[in-house]
Amino acid sequence: MTRFRLSGRGRFGQLCLVALAACGVPLSAPAQTEGGLYVAGAGFSFEQAAADGLSRNPGGQRFFVLVLPPQTEALTSKASRAQAAARQRVVDGNGVLLVCRRDIDSGAVDATRLVPGVVPARGWPPAGSGGLPDGQRYFPDEDPANLPQSDEMLRRLRSTCS
């Protein structure tokens, strides 16, 4: 009878790898390269959401600030000095500034007044519309580089913008 024998210093490590593989646990995990989603509006000012995002994502970790009316003025050329300074800190800190496409479509946000770099984000399409192809996370005209990679964060963004 042949016996499988692990010996030497790496025996414990080898056993751990075998156990992890048997359990279906990935042997390597992607590095956390993305921070959270922070929403300005609904009781939080743009400056508060920006400060929260910056404090929780140090070191250039990418994060997202979704801005809802009436806080969207912070993303225009009519922003106050404090809003413009907070906006620049978000951009410098690797933050992505988002507005809901529905707010642009409804006229609540004038897209021509938004500063460069603000990304419109879509909500969920109406049921049966086919706007978001089955099995796809992004609409055909969206740039995935401007939106969250995390499924949970993308769902939260789409739900908020629906």
Check residue 160 and give its pLDDT: 94
Nearest partner of 46 among 69, 71, 70, 68, judged by Cα? 71
Question: Is residue 21 over pLDDT 70?
Answer: no
pTM given for the model: 0.76
Condensed to tens digits (0 to 9), the pLDDT of residues 95-143 reads 999 999 999 999 999 999 999 999 999 988 766 666 776 777 888 778 8
- 156 phi/psi in degrees, rounded to 5: -65, -40
Those residues whose C-beta lies under 8 Å from the C-beta of residue 153, and which sit 6 or more positions away, are 34, 36, 37, 64
Domain ranges of the chain: 34-160
Q: Which fold has domain 34-160?
A: Hypothetical Protein Ychn; Chain: A, (3.40.1260)
Could you tell me the CA-to-CA distances from 2 to 5, 131, 149 in Å, in that order? 9, 59, 48
DSSP class of residue 124 equals: P
- 115 phi/psi in degrees, rounded to 5: -70, 155
